[in-house]
Structure 1
């Protein structure tokens, strides 16, 4: 598990491209038969992926959490972007197929990931953050998620936001999570940009062609930077940073947030004229 310490925006101004990518980009989220995770000191979020192929994968706490088991003091959200699979929680099996998700409450001791077929393995994308209370585990598919169509063809940002883990869908301590699908011909996400000082965010880009790239924008509004991203990569966004992107073709991304509140519309909007 790679550890990411907090970053002051004045320091980030001086980062090289290589340093910026090393500190904020998770280049490899999925490895066959492994659980790949990153731990950020920004609101203590953990994010990454589990890709079981020939064997089931068990989620262990590791020394980084100093806990008996991974969800002893945490909650977790998972969305499957691969083949059909199963998540076993304390012996109970949940079928989590492509573009289905699940919220897992604090106190779940055993978490096991399995694929139904090795030649079409599941790819379980994971977000986890500290939890102060135990809420029930809930499976969420696209029908249960809240769909919010946004954007327009003329602005190249026609998209649908699917809110999987959201106060109007289920109870969680602080984790919010969802998936945004851009339509063909659209490339912009979250522009005009915003920040939200009260919570951080992680973007995971996928459903991209081999030669498609997303130019992910970050940094303070008056001091922006960019990271060039390819398929199935994740990027960390501190609360002081904008988080937006433009793709060479349409794509899909999963967003996850944790922090002070769960008000999805609590945003500090940035006027286009103020971006630098």
Structure 2
């Protein structure tokens, strides 16, 4: 078994404003995370966030040592959140097994040892989505089902943005050092997310879009409010969002997305809203 690691350097707003579509995608888009039998990680220098896809189909897949972290063990100075968007599977950490069904999550605290992943049915494999950020204290490992997540309902059908924000790794649900992780699910007919837009310079964010038909695409809007750009994403694509960038999207059909944040604080509502007249 090999672990593939792709390293992404920080892209600033002036650089991003001058990039063409290909260069924007190279700087911010993460494709091909989920491939059968593999561990694919992207190490971003944005708050040192690691984004990963793990799809076990036979033998267990293990994350123990990742050279890019510079530590003896992956969780030695890190915490991690894992959310399953595939078939049923199991994650083993700290000597304990945690079963994860579709849209169940696991928070693993700093110092818990190696992570091991397996699928219950290789013909219908689990698709484990991993987020990991540096940590300075240990928090308990917690299994979080979709039902346990804190529900925040926002938007309306009239504005085509009726949605439920399911907060998994959040102070009201699960203690963590700096990770915040959740899943946004839209009502039928709603396709807009986070508009009016906002930025939060104290934290970076990463989005994973999934639950889309093969031909469905999400137009992910990014850039400084006065200098916006967009990326066109398919199902299972992820995108890095620096603190200076807006992050909103609209889909050609139904979709869901997982968001994760790391940075200076744990306040989900810490954001700087951008009025519509401020977008260019």
Residue 211, structure 1, aligned to residue 215, structure 2:
yes
Report 1:164-175 matches (<5 A). 164-175=168-179
Compute the displacement of 1:152 (Å): 0.5
Compute the displacement of 1:62 (Å): 2.2
Compute the displacement of 1:6 (Å): 1.1
The TM-score with structure 2 as length reference comes to 0.97
Compute the displacement of 1:27 (Å): 1.1
Residue 90, structure 1, aligned to residue 88, structure 2:
no
Compute the displacement of 1:90 (Å): 3.0
Q: Distance in 2 between matches of 1:219 and 1:48?
A: 24
Compute the displacement of 1:61 (Å): 2.5
The residue number in structure 1 matching 2:154 is 150
- Runs of 4+, deviation exceeding 4 Å: none
Q: Distance in 2 between matches of 1:110 and 1:128?
A: 13
Equivalent residues of 1:91, 1:110 under 8 A apart: no
Equivalent of residue 237 in structure 2, options 215, 218, 233: 233
Query: Deviation string for 1:131-162 (max 9, x for gaps)?
Result: 00000000101121101111101111010000
Query: Deviation string for 1:234-269 (max 9, x for gaps)?
Result: 000000000000000121000000000010001100
Q: How many residues align?
A: 276
Query: Deviation string for 1:101-158 (max 9, x for gaps)?
Result: 0110000112100000011100000100000000000010112110111110111101
Report 1:246-265 matches (<5 A). 246-265=250-269
The residue number in structure 2 matching 1:41 is 45
Residue 62, structure 1, aligned to residue 42, structure 2:
no
The TM-score with structure 1 as length reference comes to 0.99
Local SS of the residue matching 1:88: strand
Equivalent residues of 2:64, 2:113 under 8 A apart: no
Q: Distance in 1 between matches of 2:135 and 2:66?
A: 18
Q: Distance in 2 between matches of 1:183 and 1:65?
A: 39
Compute the displacement of 1:16 (Å): 0.9
Equivalent of residue 194 in structure 1, options 187, 198, 203: 198
The residue number in structure 2 matching 1:51 is 55
Q: Distance in 2 between matches of 1:60 and 1:21?
A: 30
The residue number in structure 2 matching 1:160 is 164
Query: Deviation string for 1:65-106 (max 9, x for gaps)?
Result: 111111000000011000000001133111011110011000
Query: Deviation string for 1:187-213 (max 9, x for gaps)?
Result: 101111000010000000000000000
The residue number in structure 2 matching 1:102 is 106
Equivalent of residue 125 in structure 1, options 124, 129, 135: 129
Equivalent of residue 8 in structure 1, options 4, 7, 12: 12
Report 1:127-142 matches (<5 A). 127-142=131-146
Q: Distance in 2 between matches of 1:158 and 1:29?
A: 28
Structure 2 unpaired stretches of 5+:
none
The residue number in structure 2 matching 1:19 is 23
Compute the displacement of 1:54 (Å): 1.5
